[in-house]
Each structure stands twice: as C-alpha cells, then as structure tokens.
Amino acid sequence: MLSEFQLITRYFTRPLLKTDDIVLGIGDDCALLKILSGMQLAISTDMLVEGKHFFKNINPAILGRQSLAVNLSDLAAMGAQPVAFMLALALPTANKKWLTLFSKSLLKLADEYNCKLIGGDTTKGPLTINITIFGTVPHGQALRRDVAKVGDDIWVSGTIGDARLALAIYRKEIHIKKTHNNILQINLPIIPRIKLGIALRGIAHAAIDISDGLAGDLIHILESSNVGALLYVDSLPISSILRQQSLIIRRNFTLSGGDDYELCFTSPVKQRKKVIAAAMHSATTITRVGIIEATPGLRLIDTNDKLLNIDITTFDHFKTEK
Ligand code: ADP
Ligand code: MG
C-alpha cells in the first residue's frame, strides 16, 4: 500500500524549476507565489465528481487532461497567463496504473502551458478531482463578463456542439454513418484558448468560456453587462460532422450542448482587424456570430434574419441534470 506521502512524491512531485512567480512548490504547509508588480492574480477552481461530471471507468489519461483543461479554459476566458495550480484528490484506492496514467497526462498538459503543480491535498473517498488554478494578467486588462458594450460584435472561437454530438452518439440518441464513428474515438480533447485570450487583451471587451452551451453562457455576459444580443443561430461555427445533422439538432447542440470550452467574446466593430490579427497570431479560428444590443435578452435569428421563437431553457430535450 502506498502512503499518502509516497503517492504524492511518486506521482505528483517533480523538480520545480524556479520561476519568477513561484518561490516554493510542493512539500511545505503552503506554496509561495510572488506577484510581480503591475500584475493581478486570476484564480479559479473546478470540481469534477465521478458519475456527475464524468463516467465511471473513464480512461484516466483523458480524465487527467480534462481536469486541468477546464481550469486552463477559465484562465483563457479572462486573458490570463497560467502560472500554477493546486490539486485536491479524493481517491477510493491508490491504484498504481490509474495514478500513472492520470498524473502523466495531467502534467503533460501542465507543461504545455508552463503551469506548475505547487501543492494540493490527497484523501481517500469517492473519486473527486478539484483543481485550483492561478494565472496572471496585467492590472485592469482581464476580460471580464460585465463589460460588453452596445454595438460590440460577438465572436466564438473554434467550433461548437461537437462534445454534445459525441455524447448523443454514445447514448445512441442519434445515429450517424459508420464512417463518422471516429468522433467517438477522438474524445474531443479540450484545447484551452490561452493564446487567444492573451492576444485579445486590450482589444476585446467581455469574454466567457463556453462550458454550459453558448446561449446560456452568452446570457451570463448579457446579464452582467446589462445589455442584450442578436445571435445568428444558423451561422454558428460547426464541424463537418455536425453539419450533416438536421437543423433542429444543429441548433440544439450549438446553443445548449455544452462542454465546448471555446471562447465567446465581444469587441468593438472598429477593432475587427485587430481581433482577426489576434486570432491569426494565436492560430485559432474565430467566427462573428452576433451583435450586442441595448434591449435586454437574447434574440435568435435565422439566415433570413427572421426572429426564431426558441425557448433556450427547455431547448435541449436530451439534456440531463449536471
Ligand atoms: P498538510 O497536512 O500540511 O496539509 P499534506 O500532508 O496534506 O500537508 O501535504 C503535504 C504536501 O504535499 C503539501 O505541500 C501539499 O500541498 C502537497 N500535496 C498533497 N496532495 C497533493 C496532490 N494531490 N498533488 C500535489 N501536491 C499535493
Ligand atoms: Mg493537507
């Protein structure tokens, strides 16, 4: 049996190359971070519980990556640069194979974003993963939800609706041609849009990462900013596989599917060139999907500019409680 300390040392502790921001990592009662002058600390936490946020028996390598990716995505949505994270783990057993796969993929993604594991907590219990992440952003430059302005363009990165499509196929809610079964194999790894978020500092107004479906997440921006919006529902960016689905499924999965982890952001029309340059600089595709208006509420329009009468709250018939 592994002791708690052996487990931490073997799977989660690595030599910490000293950086400007990290004074002390794993091993003491607290980690120590230095906040450089002119910077603000962006902090976020996410808890993933087996059976609620991921399936029992999920591949631990996928779980390790996703656990950190959802947190990195929150930093991306604020335009923050990742610095470090804490990992609180409840494990039913100390399974060596599981821990190896989980920690390897987690730390691999951490390396990709130069985000160091600086501490955590480990306890026995139903499988639960709680990561708290720290990033930095220059004073006043964070991309907040409450600063969308009337007249702003609304943009979305990447494509949306694929995670919901994969789930629908898995649950056999819909059937697709055999040749497209690969959507299940690729497991849709989240690509945290850190580079895009940072490139949008000083250009974009509001931003959010799409975790619960575009419509609901955009409404968070609208309500915090006291504005409304028009959304071009049938121009939302989708993959070629989702494009082959019916109109109702396309609308459903893009608007309220969830787990996309793309960025939705607003920016002034006069910044369009800079927005496109930021997207190119970060090698991320972006699509203009709507406009911020003064009248509160979210209005959905089709390709003929016809207002659609869709109730977002009850739109996803398949959606289960999260
Ligand atoms: P304490 O009892 O003082 O809270 P712990 O015994 O819980 O300390 O942890 C010892 C050290 O190991 C601390 O620096 C803590 O941050 C770190 N740690 C514990 N669990 C993890 C984990 N899952 N991942 C990374 N670091 C961890
Ligand atoms: Mg502890």
- Condensed to tens digits (0 to 9), the pLDDT of residues 140-160 reads 999 999 999 999 999 999 999
C-alpha distances (whole Å) from 252 to each of 115, 126, 249, 314 are: 35, 33, 5, 10
- Condensed to tens digits (0 to 9), the pLDDT of residues 97-111 reads 999 999 999 999 999
- Condensed to tens digits (0 to 9), the pLDDT of residues 62-81 reads 999 999 999 999 999 999 99
- 6 CA distance to ligand 1 middle (Å): 11
Q: Whose CA is nearest to atom 18 of ligand 1?
A: 120
C-alpha distances (whole Å) from 81 to each of 25, 72, 142, 147, 268 are: 18, 9, 10, 20, 23
Diameter of the chain measured on Cα atoms: 65
Q: What pLDDT is attached to residue 316?
A: 55
pLDDT-based confidence at 185, cuts 50/70/90?
A: very low
C-beta of 121 in contact with ligand 1 (< 6 A): yes
Q: What is the CA radius of gyration of the chain?
A: 20
- 8 CA distance to ligand 2 middle (Å): 11
What share of the chain in percent tops pLDDT 70? Answer: 93
pTM of the model: 0.93
Q: What pLDDT is attached to residue 278?
A: 98
Q: Is the dihedral of CA 129, 135, 139, 142 positive or negative?
A: negative
